[in-house]
Structure 1
Amino acid sequence: MKQSRDTHASRLAASRQLDGELADADLDLAEQKAHLHQAQEALKLGNLRGREIFEDLLKEPVPLDLVRRIRTSPQARKAVRLPSPRRQAKLTLPRVAAAFLLTFVLGGGLGYMLALKPASAVSTLIADAGDAWLDDVVAHYRTFSRMDGRLAELPASEPAAIIEWLLGNTGVNFRIPDLSDNGLAFEGARMLVAGGMPVGQLVYTSGEGEVISLLFRKNRPDEDGFSELIRDNIALVSWRSATATYVVVGPSSAASLDEIAAKAAGLI
C-alpha cells in the first residue's frame, strides 16, 4: 500500500515538472544531488591517483641534505589545547557537496603537479638501491674504517708506489689530492673489488678520528650516476668524468662531505 502511494507521488511530481508546476526548490535539490554524485566519482579517481603517486615517492631514497636537516633540527614545542565547548556543525547537502569538490580539487591538483615532475630528475641523482657495487663499497668501508692503525695497505709515504699500483689495476689515471685545507690527513691507499671491478681507494682521516675515503673506478656504459646517497649511516657523494666514476665515502654525520668531494674533484 505504501509503495503504491510512493509510486503515485513520484508520478505526480514528474507530471508537475512536465507541466511547469514543480517548485524551484525541488529542482535545485535534484541538481545538487546530481552534482554530489559527480563529485563523489571524481574524488574516488583523484584519491586513487594520489595514493599511487604517494606510494611511489615513499620508495625513493632519502636525499643526504634532507637527512642532515632532520637530524640537526630542534625539537618542536608541544602545543597545549585548552578544552572548549563542542559545537555540532549542521550538515546540509550544499555543504557536503562543497566539501567533496574542494577535496577533489586539492587532491587532483597535487597529483597533477607530482605527475608533471620528470622522473629522470630523481633517477639521475640517486643511485638505484639495488646497485651491487655500492653495496660492496659500503660493506668494505664499514669493515676497514674500524681497523685502528691498519687503514692503508700502502702508506702515504710512498706516493709513487700508490699511483703505480692503483693505476695498473684500475686503469684510472689520477693524482693524490691534498685535502689538508679541509682538515684531512692522507693515510695511504687500498684496493678492493666492488661490483666485479677493481676499485682504487685513497684513505684520509680527520682531526676527530673520522675516516674519509676517496674511491674511483672505470666507467660502465650501462650504469646511472648519482650525486648523494645515505646507506646505514654511511654517506656517499659521487661525480663522473669521461672515463671514471669517483665516490667520497664517510659517516653521514660529516657535514662537510660535499665540500670535500668538490675539492677532491678539482685535484684528482
Structure 2
Amino acid sequence: MESTQGLPLEVRLSAYLDGQLPEAEVEEIDAILAIDDDARGVYEKLKLGSEFGARAFDRMLQEPIPLDLVRNIKEAGSNQDEAPKLGFVDAPVVPPPVSRRSALWPQALVASLVIFLAGGAAGYLISEQKQATVQAIGNQFAPARTWLDDVAEYHRIYSRQARHLVEVPASDAAHIVEWLSVSTGVKFALPDLSAQKLTFEGARLLVAGGKPTAQLLYRDAENEIFAICFMQSEPVDDQTGLAESMRNDIGLISWQKGNAAYVVVGPSADPDLERIAEVVSATI
C-alpha cells in the first residue's frame, strides 16, 4: 500500500474507499471525515458511484444473451463446415476432425461479447461525473441501503475518537435521557451494563436512514467501544427476534420493539455481543 500524502482529497478518499491506504492514513482520513462535512459529502458521492458501478456490471452479466445473436453465431459455425463445390462435380467431402476447441468456440465468443458489452457499459457509467447523474443514481438505489449501514459507518469513525468520543458525557445522564427521548421520539432507560463489564461513556445524536438516531456509547476493559443505537420506526405488536449482521469487522445485532428499532454495535469477534444485546433488549 502506497502513501497518498499530498494528493488531492478525492484521490485519497478513493484509495480509502478501496482499502488501499496504510493504517496511519486510514486513521487520518477517519479523523477528517469526523469533522469535515465537505469531505464526508465527497466520500458519500464516491461510495455511491462505486456501488452503482458494481451493481450495474453484475446486472449486465445476468442479462440473457439475445436469441438472434446465438442463432447467427451457430449459423456462422455451421456454414464453415459446408464443403465447397468444384465446377459441376460434387467432390467427396471428408469431414475434418472436430476438436474440443472448435466445438466450444461459439460459446466462448458469446461470453466474450457479453464481457465486452458489460465492460463498456460499466466504463460509461463510471465516467459520468455530473451532479444530476449522481442524484439520479442515489434515488434509484437508496432503498438498498439501510439505517444499519449508516450506524456501522458512524461507529467505525467515532469508536476511534479519544477526546471526542461523545457529545454529552455519562455524568449528565438525566439530560441524555431527556434530550434523546425528545430528539428521537423514543422513550428509553439507560441500560446498566456493568455486569457485562461495560462502562457508560455518554451519548451522541446521529442521523441514520434519514431519521434522528440515538447512540449510547460504552467501553470495556480492553478499551473496545460498544454502542446502542435506536430510532423511531413503524410500530410492531411484539418484539422481534434478534437479527445478527456484520459490516466487515463490526458486528450488529438488531431488533424492533414498540415504535422503535434498536441495534447493539461492537467488534464482530466479541463472543459476548449477543448476550449484551439480550440484556439491552430486556432493559432499555
TM-score normalized with structure 1 length: 0.49
State which structure, 1 or 2, has the greater radius of gyration over its C-alpha atoms: 1
Q: Which protein, 1 or 2, shows the higher relative CO under an 8 Å CA cutoff with sep ≥ 6? A: 1
TM-score normalized with structure 2 length: 0.47
